[in-house]
Amino acid sequence: MSSNDRTLPKGVTAADFDKAMREIRAIVGAEHVLVDEEPLAPYNKIMMPVADAQHAPSAAVMPDGVEEIQRIVKVANTYRIPVYPVSTGKNIGYGSAAPVQRGQIVLDLRRMNRILDVDAELCTALVEPGVTYQQLYDYLQENKLPLWFSCPAPSAIAGPVGNMVDRGVGYTPYGEHFMFSCGMEVVLADGEVLRTGMGAMENSNTWQVFKWGYGPTLDGIFTQSNYGIVTKMGMWLMPAPPDFRPFCIQYPNETDITKIVDALRPLRIAMVIPNAVVIAHTLWEAPCTPVKRADYFTGPGAIPDDAVLKIQADHGIGAWNVYAGLYGTKETNDANWKIIEAVAAGTGGTIITEEASRGSQALQYRFDLMKGKPNLGEFGLYNWRGGGGSVWFAPVSQAKGTETLKQMKMAKEILGKYGFDYVGEFIVGWRDMHHVIDLLYDRSDETQTKNAYACYDELLHTFANEGYGMYRASTAFAEKVAATYGPVKRDVEKRLKKALDPNNIIAPGRCGISL
């Protein structure tokens, strides 16, 4: 490979880059520094509808501790080389492990995979960034601890630190993950180590039980940002309830979304339903059933409504499929179950219990997620169209029926204009709904790839014009999404960046933040 073919950080010479790599190899060991094309392949852009070169890394480095990270950031400051931290690198649909800008060094924290503490009495855990949800689940099972946690859909391979830092969500009553984190350890750009909350005190034993400490609460600035590298995180676990009663309510019409949301919102706010309610559209359920798109439609454009209706009829799928659960004692769940039955009957829904769902792949993975059991059931989505392209569009809406119907119609119209299907769901919410749409396309098809980018761009700006912001976004659209939140917020973020990372070496461009 000639020097002209090498991927280098912007503004860094090959000679300086090689010097930096030699110094980093001395810190972590040569076997934990990757610079050649083939071993770097897992860190390349995978699903995003942009050119591969746009997010190509220059190297990947795998430290095994806080001290090594401190030494690495000092090297990065010396040579002005940006590092892009990832925990497990499985941020599927939002960018995976690829750096936000070409040439950044991926700081892969997967070797830091130690479960440092689990307190069964206080229901807390302290973990490193490389710990996966599956690893934590196995630990709890092996030690016979009656504790659950909340995890996202790709949970078996993803981890709690990365998901929380990206403000991901899950499906148990602890589904708002940042809300149920408690205490961080962060390596700052100058190499200093900050412990947030009570962790800042020497000999503190309340780091994982009291979130706030004294003074300004700092944890939030290290989520969806690039102000530091999170190396430890506390999280709250929930006691396994004596009685867990998951259920699905199916509805026959797309317009039913209005009465679904308006009927369930009061139950969610009052905590009759304590977990993240999911309202999944037919085409989210179909590929996880599994059903193949090609069996119902092979023509150009989006799948027509009559084909969607046939899928519903053939496979017993609702136009909307509501997933939730009751968590409590048998007595409390018996009482609340009567409320659920009344709501379903009053809104025209059909309840499917866990017992009645036996044999349904789509329902079982949902019920497992609602008790914090990791799985990969949702990966069936990627077989729907085929071709491996996926970019998730995730605007927030109010938990009002009319708002969700409006968003669904807007999205469906724009997706159809570019020939893509509406594959969406509304999730979580006490007073909000996260509207998650998986824009699936064939990345081996150049036209579809270009259309996917243009479609996402139109979705983003159309929704922003209506006042709908994104709660999370693909790294390919970080700058555009950040711009929709206005100049004052961005200016404050830039001032924080300048104060904490004056050489701009931690993931510049992440969430649109850079100097």
Q: Which of 139, 471, 485, 490 is catalytic?
A: 471
Catalytic residue at 472?
Answer: yes
Phi–psi pair at 294, nearest 5 degrees: -65, -20
Residue with tokens 């998730």: 392
**Is it true that the peptide bond before 300 is cis, omega within 30 degrees of 0?**
no
Tell me the one-letter amino acid at 121.
E
The separation between CA 131 and the C-alpha centre of its own chain, rounded to angstroms, equals: 16
Q: Which of 439, 462, 459, 436 is nearest to 449 (CA)?
A: 439
Max intra-chain CA distance, the chain? 72
Q: Where are the alpha helices (DSSP H) in 29-157?
A: 37-40, 66-79, 133-142
Given 43, 79, 84, 94, the catalytic residue: 94
Of 385, 386, 404, 387, nearest to 395 by C-alpha is 404
How many of the other CB atoms lie within 10 Å of CB of 82? Answer: 28
Q: How far apart are CA 464 and CA 484, in angstroms?
A: 6
Residue 243 has a CB neighbour count (10 Å cut-off) of 13
**CA nearest 284: which of 259, 327, 325, 248?**
248
Dig out the tokens for 442 from the structure.
């064939």
- β-pairing verdict for 243-251 and 193-195: unpaired
> Is 94 one of the catalytic residues?
yes
In 138-219, the DSSP E strands lie at 147-148, 181-187, 193-195
Cα–Cα distance for residue pair 256/252, rounded to 1 Å: 7
Q: In sequence order, what DSSP letters do the residues of 268-334 get, joined into one string?
A: HHTTSS-S-EEEEEHHHHGGGTT--GGGT--SSSSPPHHHHHHHHHHHT--SEEEEEEEEE-HHHHH
**How far is residue 419's CA from residue 144's CA, in Å, rounded to a whole number?**
50
The answer to whether the beta carbons of residues 389 and 423 sit under 8 Å apart is no
Handedness of CA 66, 70, 73, 79 (dihedral sign): negative
For the chain, counts of helices (H) and of strands (E): 14, 19
> Do residues 482 and 451 lie in contact, with contact meaning Cβ atoms separated by under 8 Å?
no
Q: Which of 71, 110, 366, 472 is the catalytic position?
A: 472
> C-alpha angle 351/357/361, rounded to 5°?
125
E strand or H helix that includes residue 115: strand 115-119
How many Cβ atoms are within 10 Å of 285's Cβ, its own excluded? 29
Annotated catalytic residues are 94, 471-472
